[in-house]
Amino acid sequence: MTTADPARSSTSLQDNSLADSIVILDFGSQYSQLIARRVRELNVYSELLPFSISASELKRLNPKGIILSGGPNSVYDKGAPKCDPEIWRLGLPVFGVCYGMQLMAQELGGVVEAGTVREFGRSILTVIHHGLLFKGLEPSLDSWMSHGDSVVGLPSGFRTVACTMSTPSAAIADEERGFYGVQFHPEVVHTKNGQDIIRNFVTDVCGCKQNWTVSKFLETAIAEVRKQVGDKRVLLALSGGVDSSTLAFLLHKAIGDQLTCMFIDQGFMRKNEPEWLVDKFTNDFNIHVHYIDARDRFIGKLAGVIDPEEKRKVIGNEFIRVFEAESKKLGPFDFLAQGTLYPDVIESSGSTVDPKTGERVAVKIKSHHNVGGLPKDLQFKLVEPFAKLFKDEVRRVALDLGVPDGIRQRHPFPGPGLAIRVLGEVTPERLKMLRDADWIVREEVKSHGLYKQIWQAFAVLLPTKSVGVMGDKRTYENQVVIRAVTSEDGMTADWARLPYDLLDAISRRIVNEVQGVNRVVYDVTSKPPATIEWE
């Protein structure tokens, strides 16, 4: 996992200097982002930084405490990631999670060894000493374990404060120095009272005030945009999704007509969405959108293309060409606005720094389209107000900005759109078939009052056919898959347990109303092992 570069992150921490903050050092855990989210849910600002950040840099950032994430390595492996040893002498509380606990134990003189019994999944945790970390919690808790190594020798000053049947030291503490470690993952929902454990560390051990809110962020973001942009023009590639739409509202509030929105219709949007988007923004929101009809160009480029990665590449390349040509017609522009979110910053490296100005310069568009980069000679200074926010936080910003529920609560939609939900070759006929089926799925989910409870619900058109009987005649037609999942952030997801009457209504309507489909199936696979999208 790639974390945000410390130079960029340090600026963000300084911008939030009026609020107490917690730093999470990332050692590669799949749950690292989740720890940051959990801390923010306590109204305490948090940020994920590389494990290699120096103690001097951390001291300059002035956090109230440090959390060490889990990770896939063993601390005794050659080249295992380690933090700056001076961190232990900063006088800050430190909370090690899984690998973070093992690293803390080893670095401070303890012993870590490969366990004879590994623990993966739910395990009963027995609290031996509550102290500040387990304050107010029951003596027995469900915990979520994922480890093969164990701390078998404690460093000087530490004591065991919790155990499981297989792990004698499942939680350790040096309360005098404010050092705590847990072998389990308190950040996941499977750990009972896990958020309470994090709260105890953040508020009681670190003494953080719970005074960071998205509303305060919004005030600061508008002022920063005005300061950064001045009287210059800003171009926003609008997709109609939550992120870019909310950004359009924020920028319009901050700089008014200095904002230019461009919507490129590549022909892969959901039913009626392009028309609805342009009408809504222009007539209801008074935000003018330049509509670019590029449907034929994109669909033509996909003729004969079957491989999903090749589809993304083709769409990305064509998007670049259209974007370049249209931006030159509408320009010139000094700034490009992107709805980049914090997970995008963490997981991708999509920018360079202008050596003259020190500002980020765009070399790819990722957030809105997930389809590749802008050419290096088409350079803008970036405006990215959401670069330190998670998806749920952007939705709260949208609420404060007055973004209508129809946009604010929209399900995520992939950049390549329906092109990667039509498995196999993309043709106008197959797109129409999927578009009609997808409309029925979303319409029925909404009519059953479940749209807000589901992360994503959509249809997928398979590249295979099956035999059926319709009107006493044999048919050999297409199959549609229904995919519905629940999730907090899309990083992991569980298949949604939709009511049978809803599934029945969807199936009957698709078979009866979508010409060319005679079979509907439901995907009951979670992420992992599957992904949410099929391509």
Whether residue 15 is predicted with pLDDT greater than 80 in this model: the reply is no
Whether residue 146 is predicted with pLDDT greater than 80 in this model: the reply is no
Residue 25 bridge partners (DSSP): 49, 68
- The 10s digit of each residue's pLDDT in 244-258 is 999 999 999 999 999
Mean of the pLDDT values across residues 386-407? 88
Mean pLDDT of the chain: 86
CA–CA separation, 96 and 492 (whole Å)? 23
pLDDT at 117: 61
**pLDDT confidence of 377, banded at 50, 70, 90?**
low
Nearest partner of 475 among 438, 524, 433, 511, judged by Cα: 511
pLDDT at 492: 76
**pLDDT confidence of 359, banded at 50, 70, 90?**
very low
User: What secondary structure does DSSP assign to 441-509, as a single string?
Assistant: HHHHHHHTT-GGG-SEEEEEEEEEEEEEEETTEEEEEEEEEEEEEE-SSSSSBEE----HHHHHHHHHH
- The 10s digit of each residue's pLDDT in 507-523 is 999 999 999 999 999 99
Cβ atoms within 10 Å of 513's Cβ, excluding its own? 12
Residue 308: is the preceding peptide bond cis (ω within 30°)?
Answer: no
- Whole-model pTM? 0.74
Mean of the pLDDT values across residues 418-441? 96
Residue 25 is inside which H or E element, if any?
Answer: strand 21-26
pLDDT at 357: 44
CA–CA separation, 521 and 481 (whole Å)? 5
Confirm if 522 and 530 have CB atoms less than 8 A apart: no
Give catalytic residue positions.
98, 185, 187
- The 10s digit of each residue's pLDDT in 20-72 is 999 999 998 878 888 998 999 999 999 889 899 999 999 999 999 999 999 88
The pair of structure tokens assigned to 33 is: 């982002």
- What beta strand segments (E) does 98-231 contain? 111-127, 140-153, 159-163, 171-174, 179-182
**pLDDT confidence of 208, banded at 50, 70, 90?**
very high
